[in-house]
Structure 1
Amino acid sequence: MSLPQPLRGIIPPLVTPLSGRDTLDIAGLERLVEHLITGGVHGLFILGTTGEAPSLSYRLRRELIERTCQLVKGRVPVLVGITDTAFVESVNLARYSAEKGVSAVVTAPPYYFPAAPPELQQYIEDLVAEMPLPMFLYNMPGLTKVSFDIELVRRALDMPGICGVKDSSCDMIYFHRLIEVARQRPEWSILVGPEELTAEAVLLGGHGGINGGANLHPSLYVKMYEAAAAQDLPLTRQLHAEVMRLAGSIYTVGRHKSAIIKGIKCGLSLLGICDDQMAEPFQRFREPEREMIRERLSALGLIH
């Protein structure tokens, strides 16, 4: 499917349903894709942070790309994360994605050696030159140690292969500056990662959200986006409060940073959508945490 320019709306970062260390939960993936598309989402993003991409084998990444595209059947755009420490592997995955019908790829900075701004700019220029698909920049300094600074984004305006930025920095001043820069390229999409900031981001000119919680309750996030895009402030406030309640309920079970992905996967398991197997080094929630997630999903009205 061709990529709308700009891409707008809710594009959930899919969890990767697993049934073993290197085994895809194929039936679970099918249920998840249908759950999200039925919920009205505007695209799907696989192999991102929520998808545990760096922990997956290259073989499994390719299987996920192929099966997702087969299941989606062109109904919504599919975005694929190609972030890697090896330049050639990012290019290889992008080329494979293009062969399978993906709409765009997404890259964060390489996450082991921290690149200085001039090095990162050269890296992006080299990567764009090899891309068979439009590419989003993914700003995720909390995990990659470096940021796509505003000056680099400004220079990316002259790179035709780049189609936008996904920002997960939680820095709204940075996000506002992205919006200002992107006005020079009206076909660019500026998307936000944290769902707690999505309503504000859209009200102020952003194009949508790549929100993990949409795996669980896609229609809620779609309605919030639509209200914000229509500048309906009372409805936006109401739906934003519901999103905050979901995030505050599900992401606070467990003591570690992995609790967000564990919570989403556990919730999907309890909803009967897919297995909650985690990619190592993480492990699924044990029964006490699982029961807490069950109680909170019930309080949210998602299970009975």
Structure 2
Amino acid sequence: MNTLTGVIPPVCTPLTPEREVDVHSLLRLVDHLVDGGVQGLFVLGSTSEAAYLTDRQRRLVVETVALHVGGRLPVLAGVIDMTTPRVLDHVGKVVAAGADAVVATAPFYAATHPAEIARHYRLIAAESPVPVLAYDIPAAVHTKLPADLVLHLAAEGVLAGLKDSSGDLAAFREVVTGARAHPDITDFSVLTGSELVVDAALALGADGAVPGLANVDPHGYVKLDRLCRTGDRHRARAEQERLCALFGMVRVGDPTRMGGSSSALGAFKTALHLRGIIDCPATAEPQVPLGPEEVERVGKFLATAGLL
């Protein structure tokens, strides 16, 4: 797999009211993203609610998307789990289901030393028949991937890329500049997971973006990517600011009765439902659904952004 570039959305997982994977809605969502001009798809990430899905549901998602895409775009699949043996079990399943690359976090639950994180990725890469990308998301796994460790593993050929959802732009810059300068690092993709600083990340030299909001507005992020690459900074800034305003929908949930995940993922799915792309805005248990007033607020965000 060559260097990944452009917009690679972390695909939402539409669910039925009974909390099973809604295959028909998932296919419509994939078509919506492909028609929007995205350059890859990332399933079973945080926005996909991978942590809430059973192994059977995880495999169904990968099989459905990979078969539908049919090689037109690379399909990355998350293999997120607590320990190396569990991750390797997921690797075998998602590769058999058609994934072109796998995305793994650092181990979690038990406190992990950087040497153990390095061993984790080396063992995954040794067993995986497809490229391995690291997923830096300390808010979820409580470990920040050190930039020097990522670069060392990239130079070894262990890692084919990094999805950075750490929010640490300085560390992200260290990886971008380090990868560019290192003589042994080739075909290494550095991707930002932030919806809010895609223009800044691309200006630093990032290869692309994995924004959850691209489910709702793939055309907007593809336009932003194009404007950044052509050097149209004024229009790129305006488009990024429009998307930042749209991202405000993730805060519609009442914090006295739900967590941030319920609010954000509920808003994304509600937006997709209001746009007629998925049949049901249900999120996986035990997340709390949005109420009528919160749904109305999501609709106002869409209307303001010209999407409804």
Which of the five TM-score ranges fits, normalised by the shorter chain? over 0.9
Structure-1 separation of matches of 2:104 and 2:137? 10
Q: Deviations for 1:176-196, whole angstroms, at most 9, x for unmatched residues?
A: 101122112231010000110
Aligned to 1:152: 149
Deviation at 1:22, TM superposition (A): 4.7
Q: How many percent of aligned residue pairs carry the same amino acid?
A: 33
Indicate if the aligned counterparts of 1:139 and 1:167 stay in contact, CA closer than 8 A. yes
Aligned to 1:214: 214
Indicate if the aligned counterparts of 2:214 and 2:221 stay in contact, CA closer than 8 A. yes
Aligned to 1:102: 99
Q: TM-score when scaled to structure 2? A: 0.93
Aligned to 2:23: 26
Deviation at 1:159, TM superposition (A): 3.0
Aligned to 1:79: 76
Deviation at 1:160, TM superposition (A): 1.9
- Which deviates more, 67-76 or 212-221? 67-76
Aligned to 2:288: 283
Indicate if the aligned counterparts of 1:131 and 1:161 stay in contact, CA closer than 8 A. no
Indicate if the aligned counterparts of 1:22 and 1:57 stay in contact, CA closer than 8 A. no
Letter in 1 for 2:271: G
Structure-2 separation of matches of 1:49 and 1:186? 27
Equivalent in 4, 9, 12 of residue 12 of structure 1: 9
Deviation at 1:158, TM superposition (A): 3.5
- Which deviates more, 101-110 or 13-22? 13-22
| 3-state SS, counterpart of residue 35 of structure 1 | helix
Deviation at 1:272, TM superposition (A): 1.3
Q: Structure 2 unaligned runs (5+)? A: none
Indicate if the aligned counterparts of 2:107 and 2:120 stay in contact, CA closer than 8 A. no
Letter in 1 for 2:277: I
Give the CA RMSD over aligned residues.
1.3
Structure-1 separation of matches of 2:117 and 2:3? 25
Deviation at 1:295, TM superposition (A): 2.1
The alignment of Structure 1 onto Structure 2 pairs a total of residues equal to: 299
Q: TM-score when scaled to structure 1? A: 0.95
Q: Structure 1 unaligned runs (5+)? A: none
Aligned to 1:264: 268
Equivalent in 294, 297, 302 of residue 299 of structure 2: 294
Indicate if the aligned counterparts of 2:81 and 2:107 stay in contact, CA closer than 8 A. yes
Structure-2 separation of matches of 1:177 and 1:73? 36
Deviation at 1:93, TM superposition (A): 2.0
State whether structure 2 residue 38 is matched by structure 1 residue 41: yes
| 3-state SS, counterpart of residue 137 of structure 1 | strand
| 3-state SS, counterpart of residue 16 of structure 2 | strand
| 3-state SS, counterpart of residue 157 of structure 1 | helix
Deviation at 1:37, TM superposition (A): 0.2
Residues 162-177 of structure 1 aligned to structure 2 (within 5 Å): 162-177=159-174
Indicate if the aligned counterparts of 2:84 and 2:123 stay in contact, CA closer than 8 A. no
Equivalent in 118, 122, 135 of residue 121 of structure 1: 118
Deviation at 1:21, TM superposition (A): 4.9
Aligned to 2:252: 253
Aligned to 1:131: 128
Q: Summarize the Cα distance change of 1:276–1:241 in structure 2 as closer, same or farther, 3 Å threshold.
A: same
